[in-house]
C-alpha cells in the first residue's frame, strides 16, 4: 500500500509549515503548495499541479486549503478596491479552484476529505479588513456545499485555527498586544483527527482549534447535531418567521 497523499496550499510559511510537518509525521506524503508551485488563483496552474500530483501518486486523500491573505485593517471607505478584490480571490477563488480540481479524483476513488482553513471572522460582523471577512464567510458556504458530496465519499470541513503566531498575525494591529496564541500542535491535532475520519459527523461544519478537541467534538456529535449547528446561515426571528 502507498502512503496517503495530502495537498497543502500555502505550505511555505505560517500555519501551512506546521500542518505539513504534522501530516508527514503521521505518514502522509505531502505535496506542498506555494505561489512558486501554483498560484491558487491561476486556474491553469492549479489544474496542472493537481494533474501532476495525481500522475505521480495516483491519488489525493486530503486537500488542505490553507493559502490566505488579509487586506489592510481599515474600514470599507478607506479600503483599496484592487487589494480588496485580490484578497477575496486568494481566500475564496483559490480554495474553489483547488477543490474543483481535486474533487473529481476523490469522487472517482470514493473517498477524500477537504479542509478549508477558515476564521471566526467568517461568522462575525467586523468593520475592518472587510475583504478578509467576506472571503472567509463565502468560504464557509463553499465548505457546506462541498460537504454535500458525502454520499460520494467526500467530506469537507472548516477548520478555524484560532490565532497562531505567524508573520501575518504578528503584523496585524488587532493582535499587537496579544500575549496568548494558539499552539500549532492543537491545530494539527484537529486536522489529523479529521484526516483519520474521526470527525466525519462535522462534515460541512466549522471546528475551532484551541476551543474544540477531537474528544469534545465526538462527544457533542454523539448527542446529535442540528442541521444548522456550526454552519453559516440565516437567523430567523422566531417560529413565526415566514423564512424557513
Q: What's the confidence (pLDDT) of residue 125?
A: 85
- The residue annotated as part of the active site, out of 28, 96, 123, 136, is 136
154's CB contacts (< 8 A; 6+ apart) are: 103, 106, 107, 111, 112, 113, 114, 146
Write the CATH number of the domain with boundaries 5-222.
Answer: 3.40.50.720
CA distance 50 to 56: 10
Catalytic residue status for 132: yes
Answer whether 155's CB lies under 8 Å from 198's CB: no
Each residue's pLDDT tens digit, 41-59: 999 999 999 999 999 999 9
What secondary structure does DSSP assign to 51-62, as a single string? HHHHHHHS---E
Residues in the chain: 244
Answer whether 91's CB lies under 8 Å from 133's CB: no
Answer whether 187's CB lies under 8 Å from 215's CB: no
Band (pLDDT 50/70/90 cuts) for residue 175 is: low
Phi and psi (nearest 5°) for 221? -65, -35
pLDDT > 70 fraction of the chain, expressed in percent and rounded: 94
Q: Report pTM.
A: 0.93
Provide the strand spans (E) within 124-178. 154-160
Q: Domain spans of the chain?
A: 5-222
Catalytic residue status for 136: yes
Band (pLDDT 50/70/90 cuts) for residue 123 is: confident
199's CB contacts (< 8 A; 6+ apart) are: 157, 190, 193, 207, 214, 217, 218, 221
186's CB contacts (< 8 A; 6+ apart) are: 162, 209, 210, 213
Amino acid at each position: 500500500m502507498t502512503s496517503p497523499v495530502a495537498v497543502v496550499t500555502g505550505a511555505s510559511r505560517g500555519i501551512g509549515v506546521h500542518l505539513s510537518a504534522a501530516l508527514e509525521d503521521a505518514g502522509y506524503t505531502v505535496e506542498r503548495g506555494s505561489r512558486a508551485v501554483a498560484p491558487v488563483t491561476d486556474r491553469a496552474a492549479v489544474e496542472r499541479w493537481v494533474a501532476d500530483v495525481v500522475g505521480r501518486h495516483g491519488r489525493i486523500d486530503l486537500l488542505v486549503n490553507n493559502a490566505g491573505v488579509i487586506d489592510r485593517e481599515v474600514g470599507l471607505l478607506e479600503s483599496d478596491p484592487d487589494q480588496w478584490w485580490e484578497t477575496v480571490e486568494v481566500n475564496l477563488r483559490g480554495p474553489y479552484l483547488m477543490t474543483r480540481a481535486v474533487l473529481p479524483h476523490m469522487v472517482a476513488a470514493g473517498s477524500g476529505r477537504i479542509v478549508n482553513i477558515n476564521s471566526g471572522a467568517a461568522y462575525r460582523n467586523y468593520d475592518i479588513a472587510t475583504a478578509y471577512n467576506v472571503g472567509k464567510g463565502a468560504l464557509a458556504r463553499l465548505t457546506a456545499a462541498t460537504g454535500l458530496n458525502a454520499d460520494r465519499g467526500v467530506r469537507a470541513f472548516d477548520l478555524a485555527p484560532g490565532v497562531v503566531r505567524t508573520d501575518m498575525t504578528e503584523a496585524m494591529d488587532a493582535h499587537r498586544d496579544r500575549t496568548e496564541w494558539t499552539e500549532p500542535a492543537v491545530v494539527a491535532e484537529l486536522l489529523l483527527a479529521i484526516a483519520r475520519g474521526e470527525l466525519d459527523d462535522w462534515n460541512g461544519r466549522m471546528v475551532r482549534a484551541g476551543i474544540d478537541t477531537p474528544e469534545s467534538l465526538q462527544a457533542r456529535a454523539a448527542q446529535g447535531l442540528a442541521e444548522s449547528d456550526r454552519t453559516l446561515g440565516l437567523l430567523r426571528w422566531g417560529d413565526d418567521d415566514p423564512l424557513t
